[in-house]
Structure 1
Amino acid sequence: MDSILKQIQVVLVETSHSGNIGSAARAMKTMGLSQLRLVNPLQPIDEQAIALSAGAKDVLEQAQTFATFDEAIADCQLVVGSSARLRHLQSTLVNPRKGGEIVMTQAQQGKIAVVFGRERVGLTNDELLKCHYHLNVPTNPEYGSLNLAMAVQLICYEIRNAYLELENLQKIEKKQPLVEYPTAQSLEYFFQHTEKVYRALGFIKNDAMMPKIRRLYQRTHLETTELNILRGMLSAIENHRNK
């Protein structure tokens, strides 16, 4: 069962302060999570980060650093983003409890990225579009301020609860054969292929259409076999036009 938790990658995007990285590592370890990924941190892991990790130094020592968001999520089959501004993403919005269940179910099948944005501005619209689901903590509408470590702790707690439920009920043995899902990198290739073909056909005439197509496919959470069918259809269209 512990190997399932190692499938869950906590991704921190462009953190401003090293202490926040240490505090997030502490929050992770208390809930049994150990896989930390950093995207272009503005400050490296230093003594302050180690001090605030309070015994989670091992999480910091094995943390991976990536130059871009795309590189950090490339090998993940499911990407879940945490953000406070989600009015335009209602169809993929889940609360932390539901998010924990989704993460734990999918972790049986491959790597999961649970993404936290910049302290001040969160995730960009482009980064949010690359997430299958969007987590929003239902805070007090009059004062919803959460620091990064608080948000990591809350969401990791719900993942932990879902993990314990899965363990207690021994759901793994009762599951049907697992479904394979494509990585974020495979999906990105598909979206690039889709845009190329649709522009050639004249269907896409402006930049506003492709984000809507992305949301449509992300919402369905394509299986690998389904993605292969769609890629085959795109190739067939290209071959037909070239004849």
Structure 2
Amino acid sequence: MSAETACLSQIRVVLSHTSHPGNIGSTARAMKTMGITRLYLVNPKEFPSEVATSLASSADDVLNNAIVVDSIEQALAGTTMQVAMTARRRELVQPLQTPRQLVPEIIAEARNGGEVALVFGAETSGLTIDEVQLCNRLVTIPTNPDYSSLNLSQAVQVLAYELRATLLDDVSYLEEKRDLADHDYVERFFVHLEETLIQIGFLKPHAPKRLMPRLRRLFQRARLEREEVDILRGVCRAAVQYDRKPLPGPSKAD
């Protein structure tokens, strides 16, 4: 875990009364992909479970370290911020916020040493009023008002993603490390290219117009790698050799 994401260790996901073990496994997977590993389960209907392990997809460590408790109070013990995921207003005092609005406060709390619980209810009914009232923040995912149904693990994934994206909005580690051609290497290619175009009759030395400047601009935009330059020069050599081949003679039928 990098220094930027170290505060995620202060965040736990709490699932209350989960009825299907597959949702526990999928939640573990959603958590681990975003760097959150602490899972609390309040009275799960079935756990541990082979179904949960199967859907965790190599997030077995999250499942193996999951803490199973009897009550929501036990799951929230020691936390300083409790974030209830809810899709209904229910005339509660706390204002509803979206994940993107609330995430900066969650991160600030975790970075200051606070313990944060992200609390999710049962699949069909969500959190009860009593469970929500034990939390000091409410969050809801803005969805299509005509169809707002989200799977439990999907809801966890959305909130976990917003946390990680805010902490480390950088995917440069996935980029291929390019061996770019240096200036001299590219200039030798341009010389070779111009000679080739003249030899095959595509470039007229007496009337070059702006062909070479335009080709220069094209290749310079691409920021060529050394291997790409080698390929292009190979094409030039092949073009010249092909141009020098004699045309086939007439067939016997002619």
TM-score by length of structure 1 reads 0.65
The aligned amino acid for 1:79 is Q
The correspondence for 2:32, drawn from 13, 29, 32, is 29
Match of 1:161 in 2: 165
The correspondence for 2:8, drawn from 5, 11, 32, is 5
**Greater Rg over alpha carbons, structure:** 2
Counterpart-to-counterpart distance in 2, 1:100 and 1:3: 15
Q: 1:126: Cα distance to partner?
A: 1.0
Structure with the bigger RCO (C-alpha within 8 Å, sep 6+) is 1
Q: 1:3: Cα distance to partner?
A: 3.5
Q: 1:110: Cα distance to partner?
A: 1.5
The answer on whether the counterparts of 1:37 and 1:63 sit within 8 Å (CA) in structure 2 is yes
Match of 1:57 in 2: 60
Moved over 3 A (4+): none
The answer on whether the counterparts of 1:100 and 1:158 sit within 8 Å (CA) in structure 2 is yes
Counterpart-to-counterpart distance in 1, 2:105 and 2:38: 18
Structure 2 residue 63 is matched with structure 1 residue 41? no
- SS of the counterpart of 1:38? strand
Q: 1:102: Cα distance to partner?
A: 1.7
Tell me the alpha carbon deviations over residues 37-85 of structure 1, each in whole angstroms, 9 at most, x when there is no partner. Answer: 0001011121110110011011101111110000110110100000111
Match of 2:141 in 1: 137
Counterpart-to-counterpart distance in 2, 1:87 and 1:70: 21
The aligned amino acid for 2:99 is P
The answer on whether the counterparts of 1:29 and 1:56 sit within 8 Å (CA) in structure 2 is yes
Match of 1:219 in 2: none
- Aligned positions of 1:166-185 closer than 5 A: none
- SS of the counterpart of 2:159? helix
Counterpart-to-counterpart distance in 1, 2:115 and 2:167: 15
The answer on whether the counterparts of 2:94 and 2:136 sit within 8 Å (CA) in structure 1 is no
Counterpart-to-counterpart distance in 1, 2:153 and 2:102: 18
Identity over aligned residues, as a percent? Answer: 45
Match of 1:120 in 2: 124
The aligned amino acid for 1:86 is R
Q: 1:94: Cα distance to partner?
A: 0.7
Q: 1:128: Cα distance to partner?
A: 0.8
Match of 1:95 in 2: 98
The correspondence for 2:110, drawn from 107, 111, 119, is 107
The answer on whether the counterparts of 2:10 and 2:110 sit within 8 Å (CA) in structure 1 is yes
Q: 1:164: Cα distance to partner?
A: 1.8
Counterpart-to-counterpart distance in 1, 2:154 and 2:36: 15
The aligned amino acid for 1:50 is T
The aligned amino acid for 1:141 is P
The correspondence for 2:154, drawn from 136, 150, 158, is 150
TM-score by length of structure 2 reads 0.63
The answer on whether the counterparts of 2:83 and 2:138 sit within 8 Å (CA) in structure 1 is yes
Q: 1:24: Cα distance to partner?
A: 0.3
Alignment RMSD = 1.3
Counterpart-to-counterpart distance in 1, 2:11 and 2:163: 9
The correspondence for 2:20, drawn from 17, 20, 25, is 17
The answer on whether the counterparts of 1:21 and 1:45 sit within 8 Å (CA) in structure 2 is no
Match of 1:78 in 2: 81
Counterpart-to-counterpart distance in 1, 2:67 and 2:123: 19
Match of 2:71 in 1: 68
Match of 2:219 in 1: none
Counterpart-to-counterpart distance in 1, 2:48 and 2:93: 35
